[in-house]
Amino acid sequence: MGLTLREALSSISAVGGEKAAKAALGALGFGPSAHRQPQPLKLAKDLGRGARVLVLGAGIAGLVTALELKRAGFTVQVLEARNRVGGRNWTLRQGDQVDYLDGRRQTANFAQGLYFNAGPARLPSQHRTILDYCSELGVPLEVLINSSHGAQVRPDLQQPAFSVRQAHNDTRGHLAGLLATAIQRDTLDDVLSAEERTRLLAFLQGYGDLSQALVYEGSIRSGHYVAEPRPGALPASVAPLALDRLLHPELWGALLHTEYPEFSATMFQPVGGMDRIVDAFYSRLTAEVQLGARVQRIRQLDDGVAVTYHDQHSGLEQVVRADYLVSTLPLPLLARLDTDFSDPVKAALRTTRNDQATKVAWQSERFWERNERIFGGLSWLDHPAKVVWYPSNDLNHKEGLLVAGYVTGEGAAAFGARPLAEQYAASREAVELLHPGHSQALQQPLAVSWEQVPFSEGPWLQREHFPEDAHALLEQPQGRVYLASDGLVQSGVGIWQESAANSARHVVAQLGERVLRQRQAEASHAVS
Amino acid sequence: MGLTLREALSSISAVGGEKAAKAALGALGFGPSAHRQPQPLKLAKDLGRGARVLVLGAGIAGLVTALELKRAGFTVQVLEARNRVGGRNWTLRQGDQVDYLDGRRQTANFAQGLYFNAGPARLPSQHRTILDYCSELGVPLEVLINSSHGAQVRPDLQQPAFSVRQAHNDTRGHLAGLLATAIQRDTLDDVLSAEERTRLLAFLQGYGDLSQALVYEGSIRSGHYVAEPRPGALPASVAPLALDRLLHPELWGALLHTEYPEFSATMFQPVGGMDRIVDAFYSRLTAEVQLGARVQRIRQLDDGVAVTYHDQHSGLEQVVRADYLVSTLPLPLLARLDTDFSDPVKAALRTTRNDQATKVAWQSERFWERNERIFGGLSWLDHPAKVVWYPSNDLNHKEGLLVAGYVTGEGAAAFGARPLAEQYAASREAVELLHPGHSQALQQPLAVSWEQVPFSEGPWLQREHFPEDAHALLEQPQGRVYLASDGLVQSGVGIWQESAANSARHVVAQLGERVLRQRQAEASHAVS
Dump pLDDT digits (tens) for A363-396.
999 999 998 999 999 999 999 999 999 999 999 9
Alpha helices, DSSP H, located in B162-246 = 164-184, 194-208
What is the distance between the alpha carbons of residues A151 and A352, in angstroms, rounded to a whole number? 37
Number of C-beta neighbours around residue A517 at 10 A: 10
Respond yes or no on whether ipTM tops 0.95.
no
Residue of B nearest to A201 (CA): B15
> In this structure, is the dihedral angle defined by the CA atoms of residues B133, B135, B139 and B145, taken in order, positive or negative?
positive
- 8 A C-beta contact, residue B388 and residue B507: no
Tell me the average pLDDT of chain B.
Answer: 89
Separation in Å, CA of B256 to nearest CA in chain A: 7
B224 to A131: CB separation less than 8 angstroms, yes or no: no
Listed range (A26-30, A141-145, A422-426, B125-129) with the worst mean pLDDT: A26-30
CB nearest to A35's CB, from B181, B224, B396: B224
A135 neighbourhood in chain B, CB within 8 Å: 396
What is the distance between the alpha carbons of residues B230 and A36, in angstroms, rounded to a whole number? 11
The torsion of the CA quartet A224, A229, A231, A233, rounded to 10 degrees, works out to -20
Dump pLDDT digits (tens) for A397-418.
999 999 999 999 889 999 999 9
Number of H helices, E strands in chain A: 14, 23
**Cα distances (angstroms) measured from residue B187 to each of A214, A217, B183, B196, B197:** 17, 21, 6, 14, 11
- 8 A C-beta contact, residue A89 and residue A139: no
Which pLDDT score is estimated for B435?
Answer: 97
Residue B524 in this model has a pLDDT that exceeds 80: yes
Which pLDDT score is estimated for A468?
Answer: 78
- 8 A C-beta contact, residue B325 and residue B366: no
Three-state secondary structure of A267-331: EEEECCCCHHHHHHHHCCCCCCEECCEEEEEEEECCCCEEEEEEECCCCCEEEEEECEEEECCCH
Number of C-beta neighbours around residue A513 at 10 A: 12
Dump pLDDT digits (tens) for B485-518.
888 855 444 579 998 998 999 999 999 999 999 9
A2 neighbourhood in chain B, CB within 8 Å: 233-236
Q: In this structure, are strands A162-163 and A141-144 parallel, antiparallel, or unpaired? A: unpaired
Dump pLDDT digits (tens) for A272-325.
999 999 999 999 999 999 999 999 999 999 999 999 999 999 999 999 999 999
What is the distance between the alpha carbons of residues A252 and B453, in angstroms, rounded to a whole number? 48
Residue A495 in this model has a pLDDT that exceeds 90: no
Q: What is the mean pLDDT of residues A455-481?
A: 87
Residue B83 in this model has a pLDDT that exceeds 80: yes
B255 to A493: CB separation less than 8 angstroms, yes or no: no
DSSP-assigned beta bridge partners for residue B124? B267
Dump pLDDT digits (tens) for A53-92.
999 999 999 999 999 999 999 999 999 999 999 999 999 9
Listed range (A122-136, B248-262, B393-407) with the worst mean pLDDT: B248-262
The closest alpha carbon to A21, from A30, A32, A12, belongs to A12
What is the distance between the alpha carbons of residues B258 and B262, in angstroms, rounded to a whole number? 8
3-state secondary structure of A231: coil
CB nearest to A34's CB, from B150, B175, B224: B224
Give me the helix-helix angle, A275-282 and A128-137, nearest 10°: 60
- 8 A C-beta contact, residue A190 and residue B3: no
A204 to B175: CB separation less than 8 angstroms, yes or no: yes
Which one of B259, B390, B489 makes the best mutation probe of the A interface by having the most chain A beta carbons within 10 Å? B259
Q: What is the mean pLDDT of residues A7-35?
A: 37
Element (H, E) at B156: none
Which pLDDT score is estimated for A206?
Answer: 93
Write the CB contacts of B95 (distance below 8 Å, at least 6 apart in sequence).
B107, B108
Which pLDDT score is estimated for B528?
Answer: 66
Residue B290 in this model has a pLDDT that exceeds 60: yes
Separation in Å, CA of A259 to nearest CA in chain B: 5
Separation in Å, CA of A223 to nearest CA in chain B: 6
Residue of A nearest to B143 (CA): A143
A2 to B235: CB separation less than 8 angstroms, yes or no: yes
Burial B281-297 (b: 16+ CB within 10 A, else e): bbeebeebbbbbbbbee
B395 to A489: CB separation less than 8 angstroms, yes or no: no
Separation in Å, CA of B88 to nearest CA in chain A: 23
Dump pLDDT digits (tens) for B169-220.
999 999 999 999 999 999 999 999 999 999 999 999 999 999 999 999 999 8
Separation in Å, CA of B157 to nearest CA in chain A: 18
What is the distance between the alpha carbons of residues B495 and B130, in angstroms, rounded to a whole number? 12
A207 to B256: CB separation less than 8 angstroms, yes or no: yes
Quickly list DSSP for A98-144: EE-TTS-EEE--PPTT--EE-S---EETT-HHHHHHHHHHT--EEEE
Which pLDDT score is estimated for A528?
Answer: 66
Tell me the average pLDDT of chain A.
Answer: 89
Q: What is the mean pLDDT of residues B101-112?
A: 97
What is the distance between the alpha carbons of residues A181 and A175, in angstroms, rounded to a whole number? 10
pLDDT level of residue A38 (50, 70, 90 thresholds): low
Report angle CA A206, A209, A214 to the nearest 5 degrees: 90
Which pLDDT score is estimated for A237?
Answer: 73
CB nearest to B229's CB, from A36, A217, A220: A36
Which pLDDT score is estimated for A336?
Answer: 97
3-state secondary structure of A423: helix
- 8 A C-beta contact, residue B489 and residue A231: yes
Dump pLDDT digits (tens) for B136-155.
999 999 999 999 999 999 99
3-state secondary structure of B325: strand
Backbone phi, psi, residue A276, to 5°:
-60, -30
The closest alpha carbon to B411, from B88, B8, B23, belongs to B23
**Cα distances (angstroms) measured from residue A221 to each of A150, A208, A508, B17, B147:** 12, 10, 50, 21, 16
Listed range (A418-432, B29-43, B85-99) with the worst mean pLDDT: B29-43
Write the CB contacts of B214 (distance below 8 Å, at least 6 apart in sequence).
A15, B177, B180, B181, B184, B201, B204, B205
CB nearest to A206's CB, from B20, B165, B468: B20
pLDDT level of residue B39 (50, 70, 90 thresholds): low
pLDDT level of residue A7 (50, 70, 90 thresholds): very low
Residue of A nearest to B240 (CA): A1
**Cα distances (angstroms) measured from residue B177 to each of A21, A274, B525:** 19, 40, 77
DSSP-assigned beta bridge partners for residue B326? B55, B482
Most confident of A173-187, A465-479, A482-496, B32-46: A173-187
B372 neighbourhood in chain A, CB within 8 Å: none
- 8 A C-beta contact, residue A123 and residue A131: yes
Residue of B nearest to A224 (CA): B34
Q: How buried is A78 (Cβ within 10 angstroms: 0-12 exposed, 13-18 middle, 19+ buried)?
A: buried
Burial A191-200 (b: 16+ CB within 10 A, else e): ebeeebbebb
pLDDT level of residue B3 (50, 70, 90 thresholds): very low
Count of CB pairs separated by less than 8 Å, A with B: 334
Which pLDDT score is estimated for B64?
Answer: 98
A247 to B16: CB separation less than 8 angstroms, yes or no: no
